[in-house]
């Protein structure tokens, strides 16, 4: 061998040793506090770190980005108090963390003695301890997770004996010790995942149907970016995480408040953004309304008892503590004697649409057609549901954790109710089925046909005015109407402003929308779907088809017709007409080709919406529309639901304020209204309205301020919900204001250098709009003057209204029981219910 070859061999060996050590810990190459090892793809690193606000030193795996982000911690429950620690391989082959006195503070705890092992940080962020003699992994961090879950991890169902398959939260953002919240796969019945608070359920995904968890709204859009349940040949299952775009750092983290979040790294921001969170509102908290209660964010209060049930503790219920739940008004017939069954008065089922089905579902292996009869034949069966991919689900006791979704999310649930607790429609239907009173059935049928014909004739003959008046008279008696027609001034307005509104025939609208084909569906609101239509002799239209089952939708229809039928402004959507035929009630608007502002702002596929001039034009257009409503129109109107999804955009991106279903008209010198029924959208509602039911022009200004900050930042106000550092976009903006770092709020797609002064001014005005006290907020006319620089000296804003209420889990639980074992390996006895 030549000298040159010998030197090259030595250099090659040294190079290999160097490369190995960059991602590897060897007995001869421990790492000290100031050192790290980095995965081969440079995405991850392992080393010592201190959380923000703490001096304790932990050993962990971190993302290799500019913001310190730990995803696994070794010595989480035994931190070091100085920088004298080391990570090394012991003589017995264990990976350990040593303090300055060479005492072990953490170990991989392998019992088999090995003398030749090494630890390597893989590109998958998995830290493995391997036997160098055969390369086999003998320990890995994937099997001992901390508070995070990334692609490649496997979570097996939680067992009573071993909690290593749990993701466990930190105790606080500055304390990595094991917190009270944990996340894992529930091993009982149909697969679903839970967040637990100690041993009590805190959030639930709903059952897995083979593709999605059906209790998570809009999970179809997250199907390629989230959790997947994988069945095994032996009948067991496990859960994994996968993300469609693996080039973008993405992970799930369970924070110290019990919020499970999917975070994604944005290079433009040099920060993490929340793509999804399990706790978007109060209704997401487990068993918020107790047994046989249903939570609906659009209702006030948000908790109600199912039909046929009443509050178990009316005193607590009236105070807003709903955890005691509801109980039956009437005992089921099958639980008593069966004499009335022979008379056709047996129990029936109440249908609930688009709900998160209750916990404790039992799968029944029968066809869909037999699901109802199987439940009806078993007196202990309280409800059933059928869902593709799951089959027939039945419940045998209390119904816990039911949530009403907007749109088409969730499933249909059929709840067993005593005959006497059904409404008149059910009883008449039942009578017809049993032919018990043919005369009554025929009378009702003929009467219904007569009313339908009369309604149609009135609509055709005198337009929407009298049809709406008829609907008004038919709808009297419904609880908490959105719009009152009792006072004579309102009645006169109602008569004046709808008499010339065109009436469309149902057949014409059905043809225009291709029989309301799903391909023409533009969106889904709380009151029904909206479809695109094409009139044969006219322009494209948008048709809002009010849900037949929504009493609120009928009130919305009448309110919207009254409010905007005669309002004309370039920044308000134009109502073209209405349709009232039989049970069909529809509103027809001009079609907006660019859909809604939220689709343009928050959909990552819309990359063209980048320049500041477009955003500025939209902000000012919304402001002008609001000024018209408050000051310049024939009526003074408070919108009450100003939000990104209610701002439509025409072909030139001109904004149009839409959806006046819950708007209110102010008369004379009226400057404030009050309501006991708070309706609107969390995140946009002013605090005085959300908490006390008081609304005014200033509550609309608050919503405008939220919109302004969303447009500037490109972020939803609710995308911060229960984040570790910010409760909302408003709080985040306020933090940056105090730190004089407002430019960090700006969407990175905007060229900040050219418009910096203007952008900062807009943010300043936005903060003035969202101040806590209504009187501190400027009127919309003043806001527009501030934006246009007519008012040059702006006052300093006071603290914005951020009411990040942490939903609490009451210690009182419904009747059923679900045992979970302590994350500290301390056995906990079964609780009564949860």
Q: What angle do CA 64, 66, 72 make, to 5 degrees?
A: 45
DSSP 631: I
Taking a C-beta distance cutoff of 8 angstroms, is the pair 562, 494 a contact? yes
Please give the sequence-ordered ranges of beta strands (E in DSSP) within 198-243, or none if there are none: 200-204, 225-231, 237-243
Q: What angle do CA 176, 180, 184 make, to 5 degrees?
A: 95
Q: How many angstroms separate the CA atoms of 620 and 626, rounded?
A: 10
Q: Catalytic one among 641, 659, 723, 747? A: 641
Residue located via tokens 């790294």: 265
Distances (CA, A) of 573 to 598, 656, 688, 793: 16, 5, 28, 34
Taking a C-beta distance cutoff of 8 angstroms, is the pair 748, 690 a contact? no
Q: How many angstroms separate the CA atoms of 578 and 541, rounded?
A: 12
Nearest one of 832, 804, 806, 808 to 819, comparing CA atoms = 832
Q: How many angstroms separate the CA atoms of 482 and 552, rounded?
A: 7
Q: How many angstroms separate the CA atoms of 783 and 222, rounded?
A: 38
Nearest one of 328, 298, 245 to 406, comparing CA atoms = 298
Which residues are 73's β-sheet partners? Answer: 60
**Residue 622 belongs to what H/E stretch?**
helix 612-627
Q: How many angstroms separate the CA atoms of 484 and 464, rounded?
A: 18
Dihedrals phi, psi of 705, to nearest 5 degrees: -65, -40
Rg (CA), the chain: 31
Which residues are 228's β-sheet partners? Answer: 240
Q: How many angstroms separate the CA atoms of 788 and 135, rounded?
A: 68
Three-state DSSP class for residue 395? strand
Describe the crossing of helices 729-738 and 752-769 by its angle, rounded to 10 degrees.
110
Nearest one of 456, 804, 832, 762 to 613, comparing CA atoms = 762
Nearest one of 403, 293, 390, 389 to 354, comparing CA atoms = 403
305 burial type by CB count under 10 A (0-12 exposed, 13-18 middle, 19+ buried)? buried
CA 636, distance to chain mean position in Å, is 33
Q: Are strands 362-364 and 383-387 parallel, antiparallel or unpaired?
A: unpaired
Q: Is 641 a catalytic residue?
A: yes
Side-by-side strand order, sheet with 86-89 = 31-32, 86-89, 95-98, 104-107
Q: How many angstroms separate the CA atoms of 251 and 261, rounded?
A: 8
Nearest one of 121, 136, 134, 138 to 24, comparing CA atoms = 121
Nearest one of 499, 497, 592 to 544, comparing CA atoms = 592
DSSP 632: I
Three-state DSSP class for residue 149? strand
Number of Cβ within a 10 Å radius of residue 76: 22
Taking a C-beta distance cutoff of 8 angstroms, is the pair 126, 142 a contact? yes
DSSP assignments along 799-815, one per residue: PB----------S---S
Please give the sequence-ordered ranges of beta strands (E in DSSP) within 74-124, or none if there are none: 86-89, 95-98, 104-107, 117-121
Tokens of 39: 């995965």
Which ranges constitute the DSSP H helices of 476-596? 488-496, 506-512, 551-564
Q: How many angstroms separate the CA atoms of 482 and 347, rounded?
A: 34
Catalytic residues: 641
């Amino acid at each position: 061998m030549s000298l040159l070859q010998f030197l090259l061999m030595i250099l090659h060996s040294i190079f290999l040793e160097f490369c190995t050590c960059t991602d590897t810990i060897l007995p001869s190459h421990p790492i000290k506090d100031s050192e790290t090892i980095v995965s081969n793809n440079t995405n991850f690193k392992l080393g010592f770190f201190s959380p923000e606000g703490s001096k304790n030193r932990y050993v962990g795996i971190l993302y290799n980005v500019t913001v310190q982000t730990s995803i696994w911690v070794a010595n989480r429950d035994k931190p070091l108090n100085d920088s004298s620690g080391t990570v090394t391989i012991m003589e017995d082959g264990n990976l350990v963390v040593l303090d300055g006195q060479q005492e072990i503070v953490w170990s991989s705890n392998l019992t088999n003695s090995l003398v030749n092992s090494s630890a390597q940080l893989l590109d998958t962020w998995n830290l493995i301890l391997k036997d160098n003699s055969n390369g086999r992994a003998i320990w890995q961090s994937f099997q001992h997770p901390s508070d995070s879950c990334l692609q490649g991890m496997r979570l097996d169902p939680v067992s009573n004996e071993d909690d290593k398959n749990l993701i466990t939260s930190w105790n606080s953002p500055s304390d990595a010790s094991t917190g009270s919240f944990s996340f894992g796969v529930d091993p009982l019945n149909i697969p679903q995942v839970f967040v637990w608070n100690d041993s009590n359920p805190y959030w639930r995904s709903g059952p897995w149907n083979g593709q999605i968890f059906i209790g998570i709204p809009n999970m179809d859009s997250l199907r390629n970016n989230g959790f997947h349940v994988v069945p095994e040949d032996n009948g067991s299952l496990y859960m994994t995480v996968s993300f469609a775009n693996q080039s973008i750092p993405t992970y799930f983290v369970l924070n110290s408040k019990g919020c499970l979040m999917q975070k994604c790294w944005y290079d433009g921001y040099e920060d993490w953004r929340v793509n999804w969170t399990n706790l978007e509102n109060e209704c997401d908290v487990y068993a918020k309304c107790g047994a046989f209660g249903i939570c609906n964010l659009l209702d006030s209060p948000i908790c109600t008892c199912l039909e046929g049930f009443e509050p178990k503790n009316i005193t607590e219920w009236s105070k807003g503590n709903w955890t005691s739940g509801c109980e039956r008004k009437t005992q089921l017939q099958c639980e008593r004697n069966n004499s009335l069954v022979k008379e056709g008065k047996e129990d029936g089922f109440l249908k609930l649409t688009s709900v998160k089905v209750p916990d404790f579902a039992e799968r029944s292996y029968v066809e869909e057609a037999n699901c109802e009869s199987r439940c009806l034949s078993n007196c202990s069966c309280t409800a059933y549901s059928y869902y593709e991919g799951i089959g027939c689900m039945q419940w045998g006791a209390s119904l816990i954790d039911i949530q009403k979704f907007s749109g088409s999310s969730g499933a249909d649930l059929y709840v067993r109710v005593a005959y006497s607790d059904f409404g008149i429609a059910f009883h008449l239907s039942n009578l017809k089925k049993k032919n018990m009173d043919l005369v009554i059935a025929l009378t009702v049928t003929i009467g219904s046909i007569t009313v339908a014909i009369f309604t149609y004739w009135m609509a055709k003959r005198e337009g929407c005015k009298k049809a709406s008046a008829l609907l008004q008279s038919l709808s009297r008696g419904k609880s908490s109407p959105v719009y009152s027609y009792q006072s004579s001034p309102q009645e006169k307005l109602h008569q004046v402003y709808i008499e010339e509104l065109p009436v469309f025939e149902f057949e014409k609208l059905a043809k225009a929308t291709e029989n309301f084909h799903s391909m023409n569906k533009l969106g889904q609101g709380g009151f029904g779907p909206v479809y695109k239509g094409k009139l044969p002799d006219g322009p494209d239209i948008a048709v809002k088809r009010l849900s037949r089952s929504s009493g609120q939708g009928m009130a919305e229809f009448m309110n919207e017709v009254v409010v905007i039928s005669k309002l004309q402004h370039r920044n308000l959507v134009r109502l073209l007409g209405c349709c009232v035929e039989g049970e069909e009630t529809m509103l027809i608007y001009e079609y907006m080709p660019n859909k809604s502002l939220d689709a343009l702002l928050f959909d990552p596929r819309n990359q063209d919406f980048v320049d500041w001039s477009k955003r500025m034009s939209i902000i000012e257009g919304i402001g002008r529309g609001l000024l018209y409503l408050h000051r310049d129109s024939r009526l003074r109107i408070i919108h009450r639901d100003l939000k990104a999804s209610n701002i439509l955009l025409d072909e030139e991106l001109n904004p149009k304020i839409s959806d006046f279903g819950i708007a209110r008209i102010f008369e004379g010198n009226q400057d404030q209204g009050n309501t006991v029924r708070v309706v609107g959208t969390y995140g946009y509602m002013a605090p005085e309205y959300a908490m006390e039911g008081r609304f005014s022009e200033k509550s609309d200004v608050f919503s405008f301020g939220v919109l302004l900050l969303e447009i500037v930042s490109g972020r939803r106000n609710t995308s911060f919900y229960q984040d570790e550092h910010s409760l909302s976009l408003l709080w985040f903006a306020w933090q940056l204001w105090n730190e004089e770092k407002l430019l960090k709020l700006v969407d990175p797609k905007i060229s900040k250098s050219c418009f910096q002064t203007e952008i900062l001014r807009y943010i300043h005005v936005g903060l003035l709009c969202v101040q806590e006290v209504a009187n501190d907020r400027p009127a919309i006319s003043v806001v527009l003057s501030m934006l246009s620089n007519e008012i040059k000296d702006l006052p300093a804003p006071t603290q914005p209204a951020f009411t990040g209420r942490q939903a609490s889990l009451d210690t009182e639980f419904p009747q059923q029981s679900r045992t979970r074992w302590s994350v500290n390996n301390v056995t906990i006895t079964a609780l009564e219910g949860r």
